[in-house]
Amino acid sequence: MDYEIELRYQKLNKHLEKTFGDDLDVHALLFLIGVNELGKGHNKYSKQEKTDLIHIAICTLLALRDIMNIRVEMKMDGLTLNVEEFAAD
């Protein structure tokens, strides 16, 4: 892994631990990314919605790394999640 990325990750992780506590795992980080991507902020989410938020986070991270070309459509009336693969231009 790139050294600069690792340093940035460690800095972010320390900040998140101060904010949310020491017990953050990968699922918690993915959940936070999903909430951020959805843009709805702090809400009560059902178990299925939490799973969908983690899915949103994974798709976002994969798309950022050009591993997968995806389009994610998110709606918040019960959290509708559509993930569509598309060919790279």
Q: For the whole prediction, is pTM greater than 0.75?
A: no
Question: Phi, psi (5° rounding) for residue 65?
Answer: -90, 10
Q: How many domains does the chain have?
A: 1
Residue 57 sits in which domain range? 3-85
Measured distance CA(56)–CA(37) in Å, rounded: 7
Burial call 66-85: b when 16+ CB within 10 Å, e when fewer: eeeeeeeebeeeebebebee
> Per residue in 2-51, pLDDT tens?
778 788 878 888 888 888 888 778 888 889 889 998 888 888 999 999 99
Over range 48-64, report the average pLDDT: 87
pLDDT of residue 64: 74
